[in-house]
Amino acid sequence: MNLPSTSPNQPAKRSAAYFWFAPAVGWAVWMLIMGLEPNPKSDWLSNLFGDKVLHIGSFVLGGILWIHSIRKVGQLRFLSATILGGMISFAFGILLEVFQRRIPGREADPGDIIADLTGVLIAVALYVFASVLGLSKRGSREPNL
């Protein structure tokens, strides 16, 4: 009976892949802290950039982090990781808005959900674009991001 051989570097590769998961979880924790604060004191950010711009930018970052971490940790194919990462990011945005309805001093805004979706779609587009650039440079068949 032949057992499949494992590379001695496989555990190291696996632990390195989990490194990418930490920033995605960190983003989610930060968004929970900021999104569920009863009386937000960060109005200066909204006044400086605009509420919707902050939502878009936050979800571009979150989308890229989740897509990349799922790609590395889950070892999924490019399309599956991209769709799953985008869906997780967007679902997180919807849940934040639902929770905000129940917090004094906060309100759920459908415009925020649209801004979150816009950010996730931009993240997906940037991730795909970066992968295509990586393909042409490396000459491989599979994106290596």
pLDDT, tens digit, for every residue of 51-63?
889 899 999 999 9
Please tell me the distance from the alpha carbon of residue 68 to that of residue 78, in angstroms, as a whole number.
9
The tokens for 125 are 């587009």
pTM (2 d.p.): 0.78
Residue 84 corresponds to which amino acid?
L
**Contact (CB, 8 A) for 72 and 20:** yes
**Contact (CB, 8 A) for 70 and 76:** yes
Residue where the block lists tokens 């924790």? 29
Higher-confidence residue: 112 or 1? Answer: 112
**Contact (CB, 8 A) for 46 and 91:** no
